[in-house]
Amino acid sequence: MSKPSDLVQGTLDLLVLKILALEPLHGWALSQRLKQVSGDVLQVSDGSLYPALHKLEQQGWIHAEWKPTENNRRAKFYSLTRLGRRYLEKEAANWERISAAISGVLRLTEV
């Protein structure tokens, strides 16, 4: 339950980076967005997002900042760094390549 075992290792990172590339978000909003975009296909428990976010931050791909939100509250907003953007581009291209290759194999017709 803690780890999204169905997800290929590193895929969660890729998804998080991609969503954050669109706009800076705080943790909860990010989890909502993940659910929206992936539908029910990717079952990610809300909690497992945080280790992933902290890891990305330690690596320098994303940057965290406390910002005020509505009703006098504040939340930790994550945004993509320049390094993260470059990393995302590289990884996305990688993913495209691999998934294309895998789909190609799977599309072979059985004789």
Question: Which residues contact another protein (rule: CB under 8 A)?
Answer: 1-2, 26-29, 31-32, 45-48, 50-51, 54-55, 57-60, 63, 66, 73, 75-76, 81-83
How far is it, in rounded angstroms, from Cα 10 to Cα 27? Answer: 18
Q: For residues 10 and 47, which CB has a smaller minimum distance to another protein in the complex?
A: 47
Tell me how far, at minimum, the Cβ of 48 lies from another protein, in Å: 7
Query: Which residue, 11 or 79, is less far from another protein as judged by CB?
Result: 79
Residue 10 Ramachandran class (φ > 0 left, ψ -120 to 50 alpha, else beta): left
As a whole number of angstroms, the distance between CA 61 and CA 81 comes to: 6
